[in-house]
Amino acid sequence: MIRIAYGISYLNQLRKWYVVGKLNKLVRQTASPQFSFIDVGCGEGQYMFPLAAQFPRSTITGIDKSSGNIEFANEYIRQRPFPNVTVTQAVFEEMTPLLEGDIVMCIGVLHFVDDDKAGICALAAMVKPGGSLLLEVPVNGKTLLPIYRWALSRYGNYDTINERKRNYLPDEVLALVSESGLDVKSVTYAYGTLGKLGHEIYNTSLVILLNGNVIERIISGIIINLLYPLTLILYAVDYCFSHKEGNSMIIVAEKGMSI
């Protein structure tokens, strides 16, 4: 069931297509099955557990401030088992001492951090010399569909529930990374026009399905199933083309050996 949930989550979130590809490339570049990996804001472990299963000689660490996520991860570690995985409940930018990894990943977290400068500095400090940071941050926040904006304003969403602190422009994120002392090696944008459209079609129905009255839930449940193939087509087409801008920014940055 957990694997099915991971698969559904992968299909429903376009950014994960990009993140998994970038992560796999970084793992190949380590040239060692004994690499260390830190997932900051690990959530339900959708990235770290598949990686741990594929590379049992690696050292995998998850950090998350949610006790529920940590409890879930620890239970999965015990049942699977995953001897190469440990998880820690912490506000990562306040951790002392910081952990270190060959690959440090932080996906969809920075915009929730109270002090983002402290957050990016903590991430940079976790990267071993010669290692890499894989960072994903929502940017721009452009929307296309009025009904999507209506659904968010009426019911809220993940960002409002978790008290999103800021909306970034791409240059602001790049400045934070550069000031941390890391060298930006690549920048990729997800959710171009078609990706945004697919995201808004799916999530409009999902928000109403989870929060609406009985009639609204029935209607949105029908719509989400009817239009789901369209969402996947829009995602796939969007993924096949590079974008000069988008609503998601994926950065790969490296730490020099001299740092």
Return the residue matching tokens 């959708």.
46
What value does the mean pLDDT of the chain take? 92
CA gap 142, 38 in Å, rounded: 31
Q: Using one digit for the tens of pLDDT, what is the confidence trace for 88-126?
A: 999 999 887 789 999 999 999 999 999 999 999 999 999
Cis peptide preceding 97, ω within 30 of 0: yes
0.85 exceeded by the pTM? yes
Question: Which has the closest alpha carbon to 137: 168, 116, 159?
Answer: 168
Nearest CA among 192, 193, 175 for reference residue 184:
175
The per-residue pLDDT for range 201-249, each reduced to its tens digit, is 999 999 999 998 999 999 999 999 999 999 999 999 999 998 999 999 9
